[in-house]
Structure 1
Amino acid sequence: MKRIVTLMLVDRSGEVLGEASPFEAELPWWQEVSGFGPGVQVLRLLRAERPAPPGGRVTYLAEVTGSFPGQINPVSPYGESLVKPHPQRAPYAEVGGPTASIDWATSVVPGVTAHQQRTWNLSAIWRLNDPTGRPVAWLKQVPNFFAHEPYALRMVGAAFPGLVPSLIADGDNGRMLLAHAPGEDRYGAGAEVCARIAAAFHPVQAHFAADPGPLAGIPDARLKVEPYAEVAEPFSASIPGLEALIEDLPSRFAAIAECGLPDTLVHGDLHPGNVRTDDAGRLTIMDWGDCTFGHPALDILRLTDGATGEGSPLAARDQLLADWATRWKQTVPGSDPLRAVSLMRPVAPLRAALLYATFLENIEPTEHPYHAADVPDRLSAAVVAA
């Protein structure tokens, strides 16, 4: 699916310079901005012709920070509307924001050049290369609702060295510097990689189940009816079965508790694309912004979403679940992990709907298309799963 990009350009003072000529981006995903050319830093999404990603015609606001290589076409005056402050705008989406973040990063790791990779309402990411072009570190910046990510990296890294990216430094406004993790992201990897991830992550969850004290520093997602009822209420009349699902949550949560699995560290988005592996067998789990203190079944349900292998994908998924259950039975004798997973199936999409609603409450309206369709979609999926 094609993504046709237009950049609305402003200078360092925020004055509108005009539009760059449209071009086709290499990837369809709206947040991917690598390869947009030197001399610009993409700030944020302005508009899109489609109601949701990926693809389509997309316009971004971008700051000219160097010598812009393309033609700049005049446009009708926008006045101050493009750079007018917004209380929910991330610091890295402001004019001058990327430059300030890069200056901070290069003061910590001198002699590197920054190459913008991604920017959207959940993060901005730059690759930092040494003079030979080799990546040595990554600059990541997150909004306030993900401000706990550096804490989570320190927490997990202290107990399980090498399993998470090494945190070089963290700073103001959600900035963090991460050491480069060798290997490649495993988007689309099948059951074998998922099995490795599950096996590597179980000791982490077992550790923090036994010692949950440090989890006070991350969001609390332990099961309570009220947050789910609130996110579902606006859609109860339009999604058949949703009201009944919410009304049943107290008994469902009681049954989940009877299964005996402890609350622990939940990664929140544990899929192969958030894991890097290398030829030496090293496995690095990335992107901890969604982590919470909650039920461990949420992660195995996320991990098994796309599990495939030789034969039936369902067979691959069931084997992953069986292995996961065996580990938890050894960790918590007398527990019933498979029943817990069955009961948690509709809770996982409910949790996703709640998370997307949180995003929408905390981002500026021009970036709502990233997530606006996700809340009703996940609520509908919860009804189906129930």
Structure 2
Amino acid sequence: MRTVTLILVDDDGKLLGALPPFPAEVPFWPEVGGVVTTVRERFGIDVAVLRILFTSLPVPHGGEVTYLAQTGGVPSVDLAPVEVDLDDHPHRAAYARVGGPAASLAWAADALDAAGVGPITGVLQQRTWNLSVIWRIATAGGPVWLKQVPSFFAHEGAVIGWLATVGGGPSLIAAAEGRMLLHDIPGDDLYAADAGVRDAVAADLHRYQLAAVGDVERLAALGVPDRRGALLGAQLAGVVAAHGGGDPRLEALAAGLPARLAELAACGLPETLVHGDLHPGNVRGDLHPDGARTIIDWGDSFLGHPGFDILRITERGVTDDERAAITAAWADRWRADVPGCDPERALELLVPLAALRNAAIYAAFVAAIEPAEHPYHSSDVDFWLDHASKLPA
């Protein structure tokens, strides 16, 4: 449960005041669908949630949360006077600024018209935070989704476009400047996926990764971050140097990176397109291994070792035996397609690197967002560094 306060500004950015606090059932801070619906029903106005301002907790779940929201309406209650710093910040996403949501929806309307999908008949903002804003849009041709991401995820639209060339990924209507219009995907986000579904997802991804092996330079030219070989080593050594606090276990891990990466390369698996966050919630479809599935949310994708993804999809939610079976099937697929490679040894070498990479990604998020948003990710850097320090060398 969250207790939500919205501080309102008008369409010119003028501070209006704060609505009375109200509860939001879903605790995760980025989820704003229920928030905007409650405001419409309780206070009689439509709002666009721009960004988070204050929180009572250091983690993005529950507590008291204050957002800045834009409205063109007049609420049915008096607004409380507030003082808040509305100065701009260089790391603020375009969609988190006054007028940003309206500009994105106007772009969507033009793109839908050009694609012949049909006029917009309804809009509901679903999520907003420093990693994305998502709207569900009703059209005469059916529901579509508008997603916009910050500059450090700007390659996502290009990756989805590339996936279409190999018969995978979401169905893209249009993409430009971090904005993506996507056809609706029937089904559910597969957070509850069992081992069979996870293995099927890994098999789907294997097909895309095989196709990407011969296309990595094209993907790099499209802006997909390159974390192959020494570039990965530099990223991981950098997070230890900046945030490791002199921990001797982390220092030893960093010092051994060149040798570890050389042995990893000798295992013979090709570097390719990596999803980067392949948990079951980033797959949408049916909870059955033979059902339809679509891997979504490619913003974390990069060029690197395919083992990162199998470690992520087996990270939690499966038993040790299930994890071993999914991993063995993954290894068999790579051995069949790349004779002589050693997938099992590659994963052994990757385990501590995966933890360091998580820390590096969260550190990069924190460095690229404004201070009010740091609670979304700041505790994750220390968590993953501590985890890496306790893994076998």
TM-score, length of structure 2 as denominator length: 0.91
Q: Which residue of 2 aligns with 1:170?
A: 175
Deviations 1:39-62 (A, max 9, x none): 011000101111112111111001
Residue 151 of structure 1 corresponds to which residue in structure 2? 158
Partner AA of 1:136 in structure 2: P
Aligned position for 1:318 = 324
Is 1:22 paired with 2:32? no
1:343 equivalent in alignment to 2:346 = no
Change (3 A) 1:306 1:75: same
Amino acid at match of 1:24: P
Match of 2:272 in 1: 264
Match of 1:179 among 174, 183, 187: 183
SS of residue paired to 1:14: coil
Change in Cα spacing, 1:57 to 1:240, as seen in structure 2 (3 Å) is farther
Decide whether the 8 Å contact of 1:17 with 1:72 is kept in 2. Answer: no
Counterpart position of 2:214 = 210
State the alpha-carbon separation in 1 of the partners of residues 107 and 245 from structure 2. 49
- In 2, Cα distance between the equivalents of 1:3 and 1:115? 20
Indicate how the Cα distance of structure 1 residues 364 and 339 shifts in structure 2: closer, same or farther if over 3 A, else same: same
**Mapped pair 1:285 → 2:295:** yes
Among candidates 64, 67, 85, match of residue 60 of structure 1? 67
CA contact (8 A) 1:31 1:120 kept: yes
Equivalent residue number for residue 9 of structure 1:
8
Matches for 1:304-383 after TM superposition, within 5 Å: 304-308=314-318, 313-383=319-389
Over 3 Å counting, the alpha-carbon distance change for 1:187 and 1:67 in structure 2 is farther
Matching residue's letter, 2:324: D
RMSD: 1.7
Letter in 2 for 1:248: G
Amino acid at match of 1:334: G
The structural deviation recorded for 1:207 is: 1.5
| 3-state SS of paired residue (2:26) | coil
Q: What is the TM-score of this pair, normalised by structure 1?
A: 0.92
Which secondary structure does the structure 1 equivalent of 2:226 belong to? coil
Alignment of 1:34-183 (within 5 A): 34-36=33-35, 37=37, 38=40, 39-66=46-73, 68=75, 71-78=77-84, 81-82=85-86, 84-109=87-112, 110-130=119-139, 136-160=143-167, 163-172=168-177, 174-183=178-187
* CA distance, structure 2, for counterparts of residue 128 and residue 259 of structure 1: 47
CA distance in structure 2 between the partners assigned to 1:66 and 1:168 by the alignment: 32
Q: Is the 8 A contact 2:307 2:350 kept in 1?
A: yes
Deviations 1:132-153 (A, max 9, x none): xx95210000101111111100
Unaligned runs of 5+ in 1: none
Matches of 1:274 and 1:369, distance apart in 2: 22
1:255 to 237, 251, 263: 263
> What is the CA–CA distance in structure 2 between the aligned matches of 1:92 and 1:53, rounded to whole Å?
20
Provide the rounded CA distance (Å) in 2 between the counterparts of 1:72 and 1:365.
30
Tell me, yes or no, if the aligned pair for 1:307 and 1:317 is still in contact at 8 Å. no
Contact 2:18/2:82, CA 8 A, preserved across alignment: no
CA distance in 2, matches of 1:301, 1:29: 25
Distance 1:179 1:234 in 2: 41
Matched, 1:303 2:313: yes
Corresponding residue SS for 1:129: strand
For 1:264, give the aligned amino acid.
Answer: T
Question: Following TM superposition, by how much is the alpha carbon of 1:107 offset from its aligned partner in structure 2, in angstroms?
Answer: 2.4
C-alpha contact (below 8 Å) 2:198/2:280 kept by paired residues: yes
State how many pairs are aligned. Answer: 372
